[in-house]
Structure 1
Amino acid sequence: MWTLDRKSKKPLYEQIADHIEQRIATGEFPPGSLLPSERKLANQLGVNRSTVILAFAELRSMGIVESRTGSGTRVADAWRGNITRHTPNWKRYAENGGFLPNLPFLRKIREALLQDPSMIDFASGELSADLAPIDEINAILNKQSNFAYFGYDNPQGYLPLRQALVEYLYQYRGIRTSESSIMITSGSQQSLFLITQCLTSPGDAVAIEDPSYSYSLPLFQSAGLRIYPLPMDDQGISPDDIRSLFKENRIKMIFLNPNFQNPTGTVLAQERRKKLLDIASELGLPIVEDDPYSLTAYDGLPLPSLKSMDSNGGIIYIGSFSKIAASGLRIGWMVAPHSVIQRVADARQQMDFGPSVIPQGVVARFLQSDSFVAHLERLRIQLQFNRDLLIEALQNELSGLVAYNAPQGGIHLWIKLIPYVHEGKLLDEAIKNGVVYVPGSVYGSNSGFARFTYARPNSQDIQTGIAGFARSVRKLMAP
């Protein structure tokens, strides 16, 4: 009796699809024969039905099986002939593409969440529904719209939103800019993608913080970039390391998240900011400042952006609506010199002709409304409350076994497990206990660390989730 290899890095649904394909190829399931039902196969293999659904979808995409409502799933009649002459091996195409897939840990987390939506989610870096301004956004959507046209818009983005961002960036981040220097993107990750694709070349060296969210994004490796780490302490990176990296490796760009950094929550110290800008200016190095969390500062007083301190035009600033309001609207922005904006806007037009004007219009109205300020205040209070709940749960459940620094803003807590626990086994055990989080090695750090996002789970689930995580830790610590 064939069984799944639950220790394998290959997702369960792919294992099931490969096994069924092999049984079809050997004639066990001839053309036109009915395969076991999704529910029966799920019971036999001890998996969620959604896993079998994904496996059947994989086989359908390869032309191996056909599904009809009320008739089940059958082996395709094409298998009566030589299938290799008619159907491409889509799986091989998918595996050999130039754009790399997500890291195995992230794919495992995504699969676990798909299989069990009730999983307590400390992994997803977004706000829960009760933290998002749902009522305010619905009120904007329900008002009479004044859109004049619903065709393709300027690839730089909807002009009223860019105009609203000019005021927003000056008021909240001290950045003076114009609408012609702003491009709207579908979140910070698209901004990073466009920067790596349009402003760098394969073989270029870039510097990023270590640990850093950027390590979890294969887009850097897909662009052929060589990545060099900037080690962090509790005050951020050391600017002197940039000079060393430039001398040794000729780095061409620096990627930083200086305010409530993801994943550590660290804030780059003020004295280091000035030194950083001086060194970058001296070496002619551009800095990409990713700044999604500043407005979550629990005291309401975030440090100035690097862009606001930049007098030499050496910083590309990217921000996002996702971490302060609603990730589903998919609105981010990039502030850069005109030549850069023109280049990335041209690439954006080739990709999708620009973002939808409807969510852009919603965000423009929300940023200019009185509701935005009230929402930010509520958000800061609730995030701090969730952070305190998470820390209290860790102290109650794992006192003496974890170490951390309480962030003063943002949505993540970076913890270090004091005893050695195998990283992969711990995540597997946590999933069995109904909890997901992100192992530290995803962000470039050595194993033994983990990122817990306290914005995603509901407040009432935080204690339960940490109790499940603690059971997982203690089980693996047992002799």
Structure 2
Amino acid sequence: MLNVNWKPNKMLSIPLYQQIVNYIKTMISTGEWDVGSKLPTQRELSKIFEVNRSTVVEALDELKAEGLIEGKSGVGTVIVNNTWSLITSISPLKWQNYIQSGIQKPNLPTIQKINQLEFKDGMIRLGTGELSRDLYPHDMMKVILNKISENVKDLGYEEPKGSLHLRETISKYLKKHNISVSPSKILIVSGSLQALQLISMGILKSGSTILVEKPSYLSSLNLFQSYGMNLNSVSIDNFGIKTNEIIKNKKNDNSTLLYTIPTFQNPTGIVMTEERRNEILEICSKERIPIIEDDAYRELWLDKEPPPPLKSKDKNGNVMYLGTASKSIAAGLRVGWLVGPENVIEHLSDLKMQMDYGTSSLSQEVLAELIDSGLYDEYLLQLRNRLKIRRDATLNILKRYFDGIATWSKPHGGFYIWLKLKKSLSLNKLFELSYEKGILINPGNIYDFSNSQNLRISYSYASLGELERGLKILSELIKKSYFNDISKSSY
């Protein structure tokens, strides 16, 4: 979707529709908007331009008459020509054909919209999975950055596996989770997503099967599918993955891998029990199924420490373990780590060098200094207390506004409350109605391709005042939707 950051001037004598025509023609003719690009809907353009919808229709009709845009069934209005090509009779290069032939597939439309709206001023973000700016440790980071500025000699490229200093630090740090691993078996990555990309590129063949929890964060990504992998769902209950479904969904060759977030699962917040973890390790070891354990939320426990990681009981090198600082400190730090067999780490580090020649040296130094100084552990204690206040306040807000229209469980860590609506309605329609009211939600159908009736509510990002206002408006939209019976709309 094209970004539009312009409004017609209502003080000019030029008709509003003509100003819109001139603006769109300029964006097309200058190459800012490419042939094949899709325009926002009439309704969205009306809101962006702050004009009546009839004004937008009049402008679009003129552009269609000039052969610049065209309405396509099931796609919307797209740019089909540019003014230069009309004058010279030269057929424009169709970049859209190149885009569509690319290996990496685009995000789901809803996720693309979420990524755009997250940066819109005034939007209350009820589903964002990162820490609020209010929780950013300004004083601690000032100390760390000042110390680094005095001690760091240069910021050149690091070793293929990442900074030895940081890998040694993480090796020591993981011991408190009963994970004993040498620095040579650790790869520093630019967040967990890059680790997953490296795994899909480096150790899986096209047609491999990835077993994912239902619902799962991974379902919102096209990462594995872009490389020709198949996602098979395994159900979860309040204890974690239903282990009998692992064997049922396993392929009979060496091309099956299990991806799991056993601790404060995204999006449900479920913590897999220790008994279930042991069962999974035993089954996967016997069936020779590698495991990717994503442990992004481990440090964010609020009531009691969760069971030890799967990796802590891995005797056969069966588990590849992902950790990150994105959830506990700042998403923009972009530092994570992958722990695995040394030959796998060697191979993936080579691929990473081909990809970006290394994670930011500055970010690696920051994380190493944070952990080495002991400030990170002190900060986590404060963060847990502040997140606990936010969680409890959000649960109280939900009780006020959602009692009778939804159910939920109390999470014991992480960022999320998995809200289940009591009556069926179109989540796509609710998503649209919400963002028109300045409320951004994460509908459950981006984590579960079935007819989910869930919403992922985050208590980590929006302020308590925003959570109160946003959830109140959302509850009113849901009640109105029930009343108007949009449950029968396929939308």
TM-score, scaled to structure 2:
0.81
Aligned to 2:419: 415
2:464 is aligned, of 434, 459, 474, to: 459
- Provide the C-alpha distance between the structure 2 equivalents of 1:187 and 1:78, rounded to a whole number of angstroms: 43
Summarize the Cα distance change of 1:78–1:257 in structure 2 as closer, same or farther, 3 Å threshold: same
Shift of 1:185: 0.7
Which region of structure 1 is more displaced relative to structure 2, 95-104 or 360-369?
Answer: 95-104
Pair 381,347 (structure 1): closer, same or farther in 2 beyond 3 Å: same
Match of 1:105, SS? helix
Question: 1:99-155 CA distances to partner (integer Å, 9 max, x unpaired)?
Answer: 1111111112223333x3211112221111122223211221122432333322212
- Code of the aligned partner of 2:168: Q
The whole-number CA distance in structure 2 between the counterparts of 1:389 and 1:183 is 38
CA deviation after TM superposition for structure 1 residue 29, in Å? 11
Q: Within the alignment, does 1:286 sit opposite 2:299 as a pair?
A: no
SS in 2 for 1:353: coil
346 and 48 in structure 1: CA distance in 2 versus 1, 3 angstrom threshold: farther
Partner SS, residue 478 of structure 1: helix
1:141-220 matches, cutoff 5 A: 141-143=145-147, 144-171=149-176, 173-220=177-224
Partner of residue 262, structure 1: 266
Distance of aligned partners of 1:419 and 1:347 in 2 relative to their CA distance in 1, 3 Å threshold: same
Q: Is the 8 A contact 1:433 1:472 kept in 2?
A: no
Match of 1:339 in 2: 343
Structure 1 residue 355: Cα displacement: 1.0
RMSD: 3.0
CA shift, 1:42, in A, is 11
Give the 3 Å change call, closer, same or farther, for CA 408–31 of structure 1 in structure 2: closer
1:120 corresponds to 2:124? yes
1:351 equivalent in structure 2: 355
Matched residue type, 2:335: I
Which amino acid is 1:409 matched to? G
Q: CA deviation at 1:28?
A: 11
In structure 1, how many angstroms separate the alpha carbons of the residues matched to 2:160 and 2:293?
Answer: 22
Cα 1:83–1:377 change in 2 (3 A) is: farther
Where 2:258 maps in the other structure, the secondary structure is strand
Distance 1:281 1:209 in 2: 18
Q: Greater CA deviation, 292-301 or 358-367?
A: 292-301
Task: Name the CA distance, whole Å, in 2 between partners of 1:409 and 1:43.
Answer: 38
Matches for 1:288-437 after TM superposition, within 5 Å: 288-437=292-441
Q: Which amino acid aligns with 1:185?
A: V
Take 2:28 and 2:135, find their aligned partners in 1: how far apart are those partners?
53
Matches within 5 A, 1:243-258: 243-246=247-250, 252-258=256-262
8 Å contact from structure 2 (residues 333, 363) kept in 1? yes
Aligned residues: 431
CA displacement 1:216-249 (0-9 Å, x = unmatched): 0100110111111110111111222212222678
CA offset at residue 11 of structure 1?
6.6
AA at the equivalent of 1:339: N
Amino acid at match of 2:235: P
User: Matched residues in 2 for 1:468 and 1:226: separation?
Assistant: 38
Report the CA distance shift for 1:323/1:138 in structure 2 as closer, same or farther (over 3 A): same
The aligned counterpart of 1:236 is 240
SS in structure 1 opposite 2:338? strand
Q: Which aligned pairs between 1:71-82 and structure 2 lie closer than 5 A?
A: 80-82=87-89
Give how far 1:464 is off: 0.9
CA pair 142-48 structure 1, distance change in 2 beyond 3 A: farther
Q: Which residue of 1 aligns with 2:10?
A: none
Most deviating of 174-183 and 137-146 = 137-146
Q: CA deviation at 1:78?
A: 6.5
Deviations 1:373-413 (A, max 9, x none): 22111111111211111111111112111111111010011
User: Please, which moves more after superposition, 270-279 or 237-246?
Assistant: 237-246
Alignment of 1:75-94 (within 5 A): 80-84=87-91, 88-94=93-99
Distance in 1, matches of 2:184 and 2:414, equals 29
Identity between Structure 1 and Structure 2 (%): 34
Give the Å deviation of 1:458: 1.6
Q: Which amino acid aligns with 1:283?
A: E
Report the Cα distance in structure 1 between the residues aligned to 2:142 and 2:226, rounded to whole angstroms: 38
**Distance in 2 of aligned mates of 1:145 and 1:42:** 55
Does the aligned pair in 1 maintain the 2:257–2:290 contact within 8 Å? yes
Deviations 1:189-238 (A, max 9, x none): 11111111111111111211100001001001101111111101111112
* Contact 2:219–2:446 under 8 Å retained in 1: yes
Structure 2's unaligned 5+ residue stretches are 8-16, 34-41, 51-55, 57-67, 69-81, 485-491
Tell whether the 8 Å contact from 2:205 to 2:255 is kept in structure 1 after alignment: no
Q: Which moved more, 1:254-263 or 1:269-278?
A: 269-278
| Residue pair 2:298, 2:306 contacting (<8 A) in 1 also | yes
**Residues 166 and 179, structure 1, Cα contact 8 Å, conserved in 2:** yes
Counterpart-to-counterpart distance in 1, 2:95 and 2:297 = 40
Change (3 A) 1:437 1:29: closer
The one-letter amino acid of 2:469's match is T
Choose from 144, 155, 158 the match for 1:140.
144
Question: Post-superposition, which runs of at least 4 consecutive aligned residues in structure 1 deviate over 6 A?
Answer: 27-32, 41-44
Q: Which runs of 5+ in 1 are unaligned?
A: 1-9, 36-40, 53-63, 65-74
Matching of residue 443 in structure 1 with residue 443 in structure 2? no
TM-score computed with the length of structure 1 as normaliser: 0.83
Q: Deviations over 1:406-449 (max 9, x none)?
A: 11010011010001221111111111221112111101153211
| Cα distance change on mapping 1:202 and 1:251 into 2, 3 Å | closer
